[in-house]
A and B are shown apart, each in its own frame.
Chain A
Amino acid sequence: MRLTCPVCGERDRREFYYMGDAVALRRPDPEAGDAVWDDYLHNRDNPAGVTRDLWQHEGGCGAWIVVTRNTMTHEVLETALASDVKGSVG
Chain B
Amino acid sequence: MRFSGWKVIKEGLTGNRGWSAHWRDAQPKPEYDMVIIGGGGHGLSTAYYLAKNHGMTNIAVLEKGYLGGGNVGRNTTIVRANYFLQGNSEFYSHSLKLWEGLEEDLNYNVMHSQRGLINLFHSDGQRDAFARRGNMMVNQGDDAILLDRDGVRKHLPYLDFEQTRFPIYGGLYHPRGGTARHDAVAWGYARGASDRGVDLVQNCEVTGIDIENGVVKGVQTTRGAIRAKKVGIIVAGRSGQVAAMAGRRLPIESHILQAFVTEGLKPVIDHVISFGMGHFYISQSDKGGLVFGGDLDFYASYAQRGNLPMKEHVMEAGMTLMPMIGKAKVLRSWGGIMDMTPDGSPIIDKMEGIDGLYIDCGWNYGGFKAVPASGWCMAHLMATDRPHEVAAKYRLDRFRTGIGIMDEEGTGSQHNLH
Contacts and interface: CB of A to CB of B under 8 A. Distances in A.
- Physical contact A–B (CB less than 8 Å): yes
Interface of A: 1, 12-14, 18-21, 34-35, 38-39, 41-48, 51, 53, 55, 69, 71-74
B240 A74 contact: no
B298 A45 contact: no
A14 B342 contact: no
5 contacts: A41-B399, A42-B399, A45-B249, A46-B252, A48-B240
Contact of B298 (A18, A51, A69): A18
A16 B193 CA distance: 46
Contacts of B401: 34
Interface string B238-263: 10110000000111111000000000
A53 B300 contact: yes
A13 B400 contact: no
Contact of B342 (A41, A47, A73): A41
B415 A20 contact: yes
Interface string B373-405: 000000000000000000000000001110000
A42 B413 CA distance: 7
Interface of B: 238, 240-241, 249-254, 298-303, 307, 309, 342, 399-401, 413-416
Chain A interface helix/strand/loop/mixed:
mixed
B307 A1 contact: yes
Contact of A39 (B249, B299, B413): B249
Nearest to B241: A48
A72 B342 CA distance: 22
Given A18-B298, A20-B416, A73-B303, A44 B400 contact: no
B254 A71 contact: yes
B309 A13 contact: yes
A42 B396 CA distance: 11
A78 B414 CA distance: 23
Contacts of A41: 342, 399, 413
B251 A42 contact: yes
Nearest to A72: B302
Contacts of A69: 299
A44 B302 contact: no
A19 B414 contact: yes
B400 A34 contact: yes
A44 B399 contact: no
Nearest to B250: A43
B299 A46 contact: no
Contacts of B307: 1, 13
Contact of B254 (A13, A38, A46): A46
A44 B413 CA distance: 12
Nearest to A43: B249
B238 A48 contact: yes
A16 to B, nearest CB: 9
Nearest to A21: B253
Contact of B300 (A38, A42, A71): A71
B249 A71 contact: no
B359 to A, nearest CB: 13
Across the A-B interface, the 10 shortest Cβ-Cβ residue pairs = A46-B240, A42-B251, A14-B309, A38-B400, A43-B249, A42-B399, A1-B307, A18-B298, A48-B302, A42-B342
B249 A44 contact: yes
Nearest to A35: B400
Contacts of A51: 300
A23 to B, nearest CB: 11
Contacts of A14: 309
Given A53-B299, A71-B303, A46 B253 contact: yes
B250 A44 contact: yes
B233 to A, nearest CB: 14
A69 B307 CA distance: 15
Contacts of B241: 48
Given A1-B307, A20-B416, A44-B250, A71 B302 contact: yes
A13 B175 CA distance: 39
Contacts of B303: 71-74
A21 B250 CA distance: 13
